[in-house]
Structure 1
Amino acid sequence: MPTITKIFTMQEASQHSSKDDCWIVVDGKVYDVSSYLDEHPGGDDVVLAATGKDATDDFEDAGHSREAMELLETFCIGELDNSSSTAIPELEISSKTSSENYGQKLLDLSKQYWAVPVAVIGISVVVGFIVLRKK
């Protein structure tokens, strides 16, 4: 008889983030570890910090033993729905209206910050004259 696997979204899994109701996501699977929190060798706060996100990296970075991985499988309640995951939104570099004024903005910035290099050169020239005059 085939096992029916429940499919969860990350949003559903992240709603279970308390000590009494704690789900984590590791390697695309959803685990209800609520009953194990008090027994976790690293403390319940470590597990609670991994809720609401994909905890695969956290789980692997902790260096869990094979026994720990097998124990985790006993808490599996389903899989993560990857088809509904939202794509990372594309970053808008500049809008069309601001790209038209890009040259002007660059010119304004160059006018605004001309004083620092001129001051450095001026101070260098003055110190050079003082040093040469003392010799």
Structure 2
Amino acid sequence: MPSLTKLFSMAEASQHNTKDDCWVVIDGKVYDLSSYLDEHPGGDDIVLAATGKDATDDFEDAGHSKTAKELMQSFFIGELDTSDIPELEIVSKNPTSEVYAKKLIDLTKQFWVVPTMVVGVSVLVGFLYMRKK
């Protein structure tokens, strides 16, 4: 038996981003909050800023009450179609020790003047101090 739940793409959901037509995606579910914007305790700007993207983190970070989560169900219109979301390739960004060594050598070549000046000034101050005694 096929599912009766309507599926929406993220592109389709993100097109509904005005005060008169506002859809939000939370936890893979699509909600039409158009009729609720004026009543939203945080204001309509917060909800409108959450359109066009997955607002799950924003919703959770706001610390909505159990009552708010139950009220949300009355605005449910469908689910996000995850079949058209491209898979992301995970690439490691951990450079090897060779890369770190090369960067360190480059830095030391680039900034040799400062440590050399510090040593030079220290030797000069030490020489002047010893000469005074």
* TM-score bracket for this pair, using the shorter chain length: 0.7 to 0.9
Post-superposition shift, 1:87? 3.0
- Indicate whether 1:117 and 2:108 are aligned: no
Q: Could you tell me how far 1:12 is from its partner in structure 2? A: 1.7
What is residue 60 of structure 1 aligned with on the other side? 60
% identical equivalent positions: 66
CA distance in 1, matches of 2:64, 2:122: 60
Q: 1:19 matched to which residue of 2?
A: 19
Question: 1:81 maps to which residue?
Answer: 81
- Tell me the alpha carbon deviations over residues 69-102 of structure 1, each in whole angstroms, 9 at most, x when there is no partner: 1111111111112222223355597xxxxxxxxx
Aligned residue number for residue 70 of structure 2: 70
Alpha-carbon distance in 2 for matches of 1:34, 1:72? 12
User: What RMSD in Å do the two structures reach over aligned CA positions?
Assistant: 2.8
Does the C-alpha gap of structure 1 residues 108 and 65 become closer, same or farther in structure 2, counting only changes over 3 Å? closer
Equivalents in 1 of 2:61, 2:107: separation in Å?
45
How far did residue 107 of structure 1 move? 6.0
CA deviation string 1:35-78 (max 9, x = no partner):
11001111101111111111112112222122211111111111
Gaps (5+ residues) in structure 1? Answer: 94-102
Gaps of 5+ in 2: 94-100
- Of 120, 124, 127, 1:126 maps to 124
How many residue pairs end up in the alignment?
125
Q: Given the two structures, how large is their TM-score scaled by the length of structure 1? A: 0.74
* 1:31 CA drift (Å): 0.6
Call closer, same or farther: CA 1:37–1:119 in 2, change over 3 Å.
Answer: same
Describe how 1:31-50 pairs up with structure 2 within 5 A.
31-50=31-50
